[in-house]
Amino acid sequence: MLTFSFTLVRHGETQYNRDKLLQGQGVDTPLSETGMLQAEAAGQYLKDIAYSKVFVSNLQRAVQTAEIILRNNAHCSDMELTLEPLLRERGFGVAEGRHKEDLKNMANAAGQSCRDYTPPGGETLEQVKQRFKKFLKVLLKQMLEDHSPSDPDSGPAASSPGGAADGSGASDGLQGVGVHVLAVSHGAYIRVATRHLVEDLKCSLPAGVKVSQLFSPCPNTGISRFVITASRSERGPALSDARCVFTNRKHHLENLTE
């Protein structure tokens, strides 16, 4: 078995985010100036964590964010990114490039909630979940291949970066964990991924947290973390245990000014 941390980060702001326009997969925009500052802040916040693997959606707003985060890292600034299409944003079909209010109006006309509505040509939430499930298989397989139980970096960490006393430290959940994975993805995708981990896989939750907090919209460069235990089985790599440490954290943005 192998236990590793899985830190999931949403990309930084784009001009489309600022203008409340849907990007999905068909609109591939770069980070805004604010988005780059957000990514720098996230990179500084996570700079002491030595990642063994970095997965990133192959849309440029996610790639730029991952590059900036790694550039700030004290241990793996020259690490090569693993581009992973399975981490791409939910496809919004004909609504891509249009204002979010247009999506709400389309959902209302169809008699559905905006969250559950699928625009023509878009991905359903179930299809996005299936993509994340495929990514989980890729992740578990890669980690078990890269880190056998006999590897020196697969056991408990010798030390972890210091955490803040108020539970807002970048090292939260990393104590005793020696392998760390970073993934950079998108808001709607992260929401679906979190729901699958919590509701379907029965991931254990932080004490006192409300489920509504876990599933709230992820801000740009919001950070979520899970601790995952993978094992080998006759059917292949399997998830043996998962624990949610926090979701949608934005402490690194508190002192950010535009």
254 known ligand binder: no
234 known ligand binder: no
Name the active-site residue from 33, 75, 84, 89.
89
61 known ligand binder: yes
Does the annotation mark 75 as catalytic?
no
Instruction: Round to whole Å and give the CA distance between 39 and 253.
Output: 9
Q: What is the DSSP letter of 193?
A: H
CB half-sphere exposure, 192, CA atoms < 13 A: 26
47 known ligand binder: no
Q: What is the DSSP letter of 92?
A: B
Does the annotation mark 89 as catalytic?
yes
Q: In what order do the strands lie in the sheet with 236-249?
A: 82-83, 53-56, 180-185, 2-10, 223-233, 236-249
16 known ligand binder: yes
12 known ligand binder: yes
257 known ligand binder: no
- Backbone dihedral angles phi then psi of residue 36, each to the nearest 5 degrees: -70, -40
Name the active-site residue from 11, 147, 180, 186.
11
71 known ligand binder: no
Residue pair 25/87 in contact (Cβ under 8 Å)? The answer is no
Annotated binding site: 10-17, 61, 100
Q: What residues are annotated to the active site?
A: 11, 89
Annotated binding site for substrate: 10-17, 61, 100
